[in-house]
């Protein structure tokens, strides 16, 4: 049974990746999961410099999900390479580095630095974090901005380039297409939905940042729809995510059009989720006589629905 | 190394309308636990979608042992506050709860001739039974300063008495022990103790109480560790939600520091108290 997936020049052994922002720098989880068994590890978003992030409270639970406004606290790309990458390399993790910039030049500079670092396998462009004011999502909410970041980074690295798209736009598929045209090797989607929660007793927002990003099973059906829309307009691989909790959820995203998936919030609930997902995907493949898991990608059968509409 | 156990509820002992002690079968966690460590519990049975979604952190209250003395489980000292603690308040023996642990940086018990003074406010009593046991094993003299609003909110003092811990109680309404906050008898004791007699403070309770204890310890030149509780997403260092501002040990510069893996136990002098959420 072949679970592997090709992302540009990178071959992942399986399609299940730890999502950026939900897995620290990977090393935090080395005691609970064999990092080499994951399809990949997308590490916490990195700027050039260190960042302290927002003041707490940074998360609040909501029905079937959570809001976060961490504010991209991070150790910066240089400390990451010096202090975290060696252990990731020793543990044979496939490392996808999520990068953020306040300017186009910052994205380019970080990509250049990472391209020279041994043990980095791909770059995920964070143009979608809803929790910081400058940069990032400004690029991700504008088609020319998305095109500019992707094409600029494309020029300076041979690593696979994967823009991570925001759902906080009218038509996410057009951003997937702009990414493909700019030379992206894949797109990942979705980042969190901009959201808010208020304590009615104090009338204060529950997060210091006032607003935050919604993740978890609550967003899954919207994310599945967005992956489906993107699949119809791009040929590059799609990495889908949004509240994946079970192997069936992995398969739902793949059938909708994702070649691989990322798991974030549910890793908090169950840090041992990885083997359960992989075992479940293997069992499904066996049951349905699937030799190559990639054969299920984009196989959602919408014909019966359309027929039903016509006849009614 | 933390493990996740689908732990059976052995007993749920009600202490009062708000407090209960929940006993869970979790030998692998109990055997590896060190004083002051915590577990992340997934409360289940809360409705159609098993809300709440995220696990909640709880100090390990007691290490339970079987007849041979082998560690067989843990108990939690639970106060009903929100949705998760309400479920743990009413859960019945036979139910199963996913329990992840042991987690976090433990207390470091002092050795004689130093004394250990534990200062607990309300549900902040939770991490001190395991510490008292470790102190008793070392032969370190220990005192528990324990405060609550009323006499009926002071619980499980007998567990400490059985370990030879000296007990100093305080209630805000004066219904048991000293009248007022527990920091008053603590301050008096600190003032009376000769500087040549070393003592270390271990504090857990409401943020204002911990802050006051940290100030007292500093004024009297005593070491002080605090056990902080912040809203946690994962307990393993993955989400960066449970941070407090803690001064870097080398540079003195404050950084957002994860309570789950760099704490929950911190040297009180490292903490920038305005950054710690009040409960």
Whether residue B79 sits in one domain with residue B32: yes
Given pLDDT bands bounded at 50, 70 and 90, which one contains residue A32?
very high
Q: How far is B189 from chain A (nearest CA, A)?
A: 35
A58 contacts in B (CB within 8 Å)?
A: 231, 240-241, 243
A268 — contact with chain B (CB < 8 Å)? yes
If you average pLDDT over every residue of chain B, what do you get? 94
Residue A261: inside a domain, yes or no?
yes
Chain A residues 200-219 within an 8 A CB cutoff of chain B: 216-217
Examine the pLDDT at A267 and tell me if it is beyond 60: yes
B54 — contact with chain A (CB < 8 Å)? yes
Q: How far is B26 from chain A (nearest CA, A)?
A: 17
Residue B148: inside a domain, yes or no?
yes
Residue B80: inside a domain, yes or no?
yes
User: Does the reported pTM lie above 0.90?
Assistant: yes
Given pLDDT bands bounded at 50, 70 and 90, which one contains residue A214?
very high
The CATH number that applies at residue A46 is 3.20.20.70
B51 contacts in A (CB within 8 Å)?
A: 63-64
Whether residue B129 sits in one domain with residue B80: no
- Candidates B49, B237, B241; nearest CB to A64: B49
CA distances from A10 to A37, A120, A121, A122, A148 (A): 16, 11, 7, 8, 23
Residue A128: inside a domain, yes or no?
yes
Domain that holds residue B130: 115-275
pLDDT tens for residues A96-147?
999 999 999 999 999 999 999 999 999 999 998 766 666 677 788 999 999 9
Domain count across chain A: 1
Residue A29: inside a domain, yes or no?
yes
Which of B83, B103, B123 is the last residue before a domain boundary?
B103
Q: How far is B163 from chain A (nearest CA, A)?
A: 34
Phi then psi for A295, rounded to 5 degrees? Answer: -65, -15
Which of B69, B103, B137 is the last residue before a domain boundary?
B103
* Mean predicted confidence (pLDDT) in B231-237: 95
Q: Contact B275/A24, CB-based, under 8 Å?
A: no
A262 contacts in B (CB within 8 Å)?
A: none
pLDDT tens for residues B264-276?
999 999 999 988 8
Give the containing element (helix H, strand E) for A108: helix A104-115
Q: Contact A28/B231, CB-based, under 8 Å?
A: no
Q: How far is A58 from chain B (nearest CA, A)?
A: 5
Examine the pLDDT at A258 and tell me if it is beyond 70: yes
3-state secondary structure of B3: strand
CA angle A155, A157, A162 (to 5 degrees): 95
pLDDT tens for residues B145-185?
999 999 999 999 999 999 999 999 999 999 999 999 999 99
Which of B72, B103, B134 is the last residue before a domain boundary?
B103
Q: Contact A59/B239, CB-based, under 8 Å?
A: yes
Examine the pLDDT at B262 and tell me if it is beyond 90: yes
Q: According to the model, what pLDDT value does residue B76 have?
A: 97
Domain count across chain B: 2
Q: Which residues are paired to B264 by β-bridges? A: B105
Whether residue B234 sits in one domain with residue B132: yes
A29 — contact with chain B (CB < 8 Å)? yes
- Candidates A52, A56, A64; nearest CB to B230: A56
Q: Distance between CA atoms of B243 and B171, rounded to whole angstroms?
A: 31
Residue A300: inside a domain, yes or no?
yes
| The pair of three-digit structure tokens given for residue A102, joined into one six-digit string | 């306040």
Q: Catalytic site residues of A?
A: 129
Q: According to the model, what pLDDT value does residue A306 have?
A: 59
| Residue in A with minimal Cα distance to B40 | A269
Q: Are A30 and A84 in contact (CB under 8 A)?
A: no
Q: According to the model, what pLDDT value does residue B84 have?
A: 86
A257 — contact with chain B (CB < 8 Å)? no
DSSP 8-state assignment for residue B112: T
Provide the ipTM.
0.92
DSSP string, A198-249: EETTTTEESSTTSEEEEESGGGHHHHHHHHHHHHTT--S-EEEESS--SHHH
The CATH number that applies at residue B54 is 2.40.30.10
Q: Are A116 and A154 in contact (CB under 8 A)?
A: no
Residue A136: inside a domain, yes or no?
yes
Domain that holds residue A254: 5-51+71-193+214-311
Beta-carbon contacts of A224 under 8 Å, excluding residues fewer than 6 positions away, are: A240, A242, A252, A253, A256
A72 — contact with chain B (CB < 8 Å)? no
Residue A64: inside a domain, yes or no?
no
pLDDT tens for residues B191-219?
999 989 999 999 999 999 999 999 999 99
Q: Distance between CA atoms of A146 and B100, rounded to whole angstroms?
A: 41
B230 contacts in A (CB within 8 Å)?
A: 56
| The pair of three-digit structure tokens given for residue A221, joined into one six-digit string | 């059906």
Whether residue B157 sits in one domain with residue B179: yes
A199 — contact with chain B (CB < 8 Å)? no
A270 — contact with chain B (CB < 8 Å)? yes
């Amino acid at each position: 049974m072949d679970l592997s997936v090709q992302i540009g020049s990178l071959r992942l052994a399986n399609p299940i990746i730890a999502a950026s922002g939900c897995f620290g720098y990977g090393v935090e989880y080395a005691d609970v999961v064999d990092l080499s068994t994951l399809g990949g590890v997308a590490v916490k978003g990195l700027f050039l410099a260190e960042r302290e992030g927002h003041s707490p409270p940074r998360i609040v639970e909501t029905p079937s999900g959570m809001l976060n406004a961490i504010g991209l606290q991070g150790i910066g790309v240089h400390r990451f390479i010096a202090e975290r990458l060696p252990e990731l390399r020793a543990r044979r993790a496939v490392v996808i580095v999520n990068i953020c910039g306040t300017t186009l030049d910052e994205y380019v500079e970080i990509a250049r630095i990472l391209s020279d670092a041994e043990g980095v396998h791909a770059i995920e462009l964070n143009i979608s974090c809803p929790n910081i004011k400058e940069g990032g999502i400004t690029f991700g909410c504008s088609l020319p901005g998305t095109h500019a970041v992707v094409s600029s980074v494309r020029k300076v690295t041979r690593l696979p380039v994967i823009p991570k798209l925001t759902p906080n736009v009218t038509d996410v598929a057009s951003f997937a297409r702009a990414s493909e045209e700019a030379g992206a090797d894949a797109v990942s989607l979705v980042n969190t939905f901009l959201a808010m929660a208020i304590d009615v007793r104090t009338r204060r927002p529950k997060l210091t940042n006032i607003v935050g990003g919604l993740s978890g099973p609550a967003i899954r059906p919207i994310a599945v729809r967005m992956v489906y829309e993107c699949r119809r307009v791009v040929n590059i691989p799609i990495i889908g995510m949004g509240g994946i909790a079970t192997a069936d959820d992995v398969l739902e995203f793949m059938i909708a059009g994702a070649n691989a998936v990322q798991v974030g919030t549910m890793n908090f609930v169950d840090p041992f989720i990885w083997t359960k997902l992989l075992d479940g995907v293997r069992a499904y493949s066996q049951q349905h006589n699937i030799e190559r898991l990639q054969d299920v990608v984009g196989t959602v059968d919408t014909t019966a629905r359309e027929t039903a509409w016509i006849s009614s | 190394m933390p493990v996740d156990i689908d732990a059976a509820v052995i007993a749920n002992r009600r202490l009062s309308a708000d407090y209960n002690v929940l006993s869970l079968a979790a030998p692998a966690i109990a055997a590896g636990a060190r004083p002051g460590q915590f577990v992340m519990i997934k409360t289940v049975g809360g409705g159609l979608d098993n809300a709440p979604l995220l696990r909640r952190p709880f100090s390990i209250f007691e290490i339970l042992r079987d007849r041979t003395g082998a560690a067989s489980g843990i108990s939690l000292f639970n106060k009903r506050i929100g949705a998760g603690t309400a479920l743990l308040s009413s859960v019945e023996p036979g139910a199963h709860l996913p329990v992840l642990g042991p987690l976090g940086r433990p207390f470091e018990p002092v050795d004689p001739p130093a004394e250990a003074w534990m200062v607990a406010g309300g549900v902040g009593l939770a991490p001190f039974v395991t510490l008292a046991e470790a102190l008793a094993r070392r032969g370190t003299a220990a005192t528990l300063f324990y405060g609550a609003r009323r006499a009926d909110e002071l619980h499980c003092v007998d567990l400490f008495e059985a370990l030879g811990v000296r007990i100093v109680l305080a209630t805000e309404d004066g219904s048991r022990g000293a009248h007022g906050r527990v920091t008053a008898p603590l301050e008096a004791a600190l003032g009376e103790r000769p500087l040549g007699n070393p003592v270390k403070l271990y504090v857990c309770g409401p943020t204002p109480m911990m802050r006051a204890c940290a100030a007292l310890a500093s004024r009297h030149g005593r070491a002080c560790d605090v056990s902080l509780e912040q809203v946690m997403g994962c307990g393993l260092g993955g989400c960066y939600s449970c941070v407090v501002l803690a001064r870097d040990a080398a540079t003195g510069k404050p950084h957002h520091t994860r309570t789950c893996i760099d704490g929950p136990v911190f040297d009180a002098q490292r903490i920038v108290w305005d950054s710690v959420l009040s409960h």
